[in-house]
Chain A
Amino acid sequence: MAVDVAQLTADIAAGDIPALIYNDRDVFELERERIFGSAWLFLAHEAEIPSAGDYVVRRIVDDSFIVIRDEQGRVRVHFNMCLHRGMQLCRAERGNASHFRCPYHGWSYSNAGELVGVPFHADAYGGEHGLSPKEKTLVTPGRVAIYNGLIFASLDPAAPELEDYLGGFRYYLDFYTRQSDAGLDVRGPQRWRVKANWKIGAENFCGDSYHTPHTHVSVVEIELFVDTKARKRKQGALYFTDNGGGTTYKLPPGTYEERAGYVGYPPELIESQRRTWSAEQQALIADAGFMPSAATLFPNLSLVHNWPAVNEEGLIVPFISIRLWQPVGPGETEVYSWFAVDRSAPDWFKQASYKAYLMCFGSSGMFEQDDVENWTSITQMARGRLAQRLNLYNRMGIDREGKLLHDPVEGWPGPGRAFVGFGEYNQRELLNLWSRYLANGSAAPVAGR
């Protein structure tokens, strides 16, 4: 059954969500072609492949890629398929190699992707007459680019510059990925499969502060992370800019140092944040008084940042997680979840932050456990015939005519538009983007705000 993209677009623009989009084979195929075939997708962080020859094998849906640092130190991304008869070149999930030798017939490539060796070249191919190895290199995705060590690829050779795609979202991305010039230490990923549609997690991390007080009430009750209480949660701000958006928590009054200290950053990191971030970035914490928590970059890269108590003494320590909602099928997603911490942080902080991460997010995280339960249930219900006739209600923050109930925050220090309190502004933005991609199959130009 063909997807009525025009109808989807209209419904979403009106503030509805046709429930079927959370478990529909045709929608999934269209997403695979028009979103995952053209947007910028996250593959890996440079810190996962620090030395020459280090590689990890990652995917964009069904496309398998070798993400490797070549002998000259340059990051390369190769489609993981031998040019001879299509064998999978790298079968380990990670490793170190100067060359790839195909397990099938032995065709060998330098890790920069050039075909350098063919067994029995003279006998089998008549030498250069039949096959000229130097004319052959492994297939690469349309574009590859790196921001703050985050390696992205697009299958579309005409994709815009990554910096333009990120646009204003870079301001927020820096909070998670550039707290000093030393870059990130990245651990993981944990990988596990969830029978949920990939969009649900992406939307949740983008702007769903409303679910926190109820879904995660248990976390408050055990005094793991008390900021999730409703009274507190609705003081946070929600922002969206260009291709991404996120949630924040309201900070108690204080100086920059006091506010960053409130979430548990030690003096060394507070100092490096002050040195590294622009005045405008620091203003988010110091003046506006908001601390970034969860965020999503379209389509499926999310980040989260919380500050739980990690021991009996109640020591508060923040953590950062980077995660990818990798679509497996319309009703299944593989979650890749990394722990990240600034490389210049003291060792005690890195250990404590890692512990904080494990308690809250990831395969065993106490927040994530309850999220996944909800999302799996939604996806199951979305299989129903009636789901094809049900429009879900995505209008928190607007009236029946679509007019905003509240004004955006005045003098918001970062790019984009922000609102205080609960609202589905970000989910609407993300789904509008989604429907534009389904219609156009390309990164439609986004008007700067």
Chain B
Amino acid sequence: MAVPEDTQGGSGDPDLIRRGEPLEITNEFAQVRVCKIWTRNGERLEIEAPKLGYRIWLDPLELESISWQTPETFSRLLQTPFGPDRS
């Protein structure tokens, strides 16, 4: 799930029990911070793009579905290279 607007960027996510140690994955084009998070009843992977201001929480099923994608899927996602074209 996309983290709700009012909790983005803040450490005071009301539904969040705990955030694990972050891992950074970077190249010259993008920087991403990844960590495990625990909600009240379960766990997800948080992916944050700090330079663009986006954050998402992916559950295991969503993650599984990413694991079998081909490079073309990601090229499609990058049709809007900085995120949705918001006018």
Interface set of A (CB-CB < 8 Å, partner B) = 71-72, 90-92, 95-101, 103, 106-108, 110, 114, 116-123, 133
Contact = CB atoms under 8 A, between A and B. Distances in A.
B85 A106 contact: no
Contact of B71 (A92, A106, A110, A122): A110
A57 to B, nearest CB: 10
Q: Which of B27, B29, B76, B79 has the most CB of A within 10 A?
A: B29
Given A107-B81, A119-B85, A95 B75 contact: no
Contact of A121 (B74, B79, B87): B79
Q: Which of A100, A103, A108, A123 has the most CB of B within 10 A?
A: A108
B34 to A, nearest CB: 16
B27 A119 contact: no
B80 interface: yes
A123 B28 CA distance: 27
Contacts of B82: 106, 119
Contact of B85 (A72, A97, A100, A123): A123
A108 B78 contact: yes
B30 interface: yes
Given A99-B74, A110-B71, A122-B85, A117 B80 contact: yes
A98 B71 contact: yes
A93 to B, nearest CB: 10
Given A92-B28, A110-B71, A99 B78 contact: yes
Contacts of B76: 116
A332 B71 CA distance: 42
B79 A120 contact: no
Contact of A91 (B28, B80, B85): B28
Given A95-B28, A99-B74, 20 more contacts: A91-B28, A95-B27, A97-B27, A97-B28, A98-B71, A98-B74, A99-B78, A107-B81, A108-B78, A110-B75, A114-B75, A116-B75, A116-B78, A116-B79, A117-B78, A117-B80, A120-B85, A122-B85, A123-B85, A133-B79
Contact of B30 (A101, A117, A123): A101
Interface of B: 27-30, 71, 74-76, 78-82, 85, 87
Nearest to B75: A116
18 contacts: A91-B28, A92-B28, A96-B27, A97-B27, A98-B74, A99-B29, A99-B74, A99-B78, A101-B30, A106-B81, A107-B81, A108-B81, A114-B75, A116-B76, A117-B75, A119-B85, A122-B85, A123-B85
Contacts of B28: 90-92, 95, 97
A100 B82 CA distance: 12
A239 B75 CA distance: 51
B72 to A, nearest CB: 8
A101 B85 contact: no
B80 A119 contact: yes
Contacts of A108: 78, 81
A121 B75 CA distance: 15
Contact of B81 (A71, A91, A118): A118
Contacts of B80: 117, 119, 121
A74 to B, nearest CB: 12
A101 B49 CA distance: 15
A405 to B, nearest CB: 57
Q: Which of B71, B79, B80 has the most CB of A within 10 A?
A: B71
A124 to B, nearest CB: 9
Nearest to A100: B29
A101 B71 contact: no
Nearest to A111: B71
B71 A71 contact: yes
B67 to A, nearest CB: 15
B26 to A, nearest CB: 9
B79 A117 contact: yes
A204 B79 CA distance: 51
B1 to A, nearest CB: 24
Shortest 8 CB-CB contacts between residues of A and residues of B: A71-B71, A116-B75, A117-B81, A108-B81, A117-B78, A106-B81, A92-B28, A101-B29
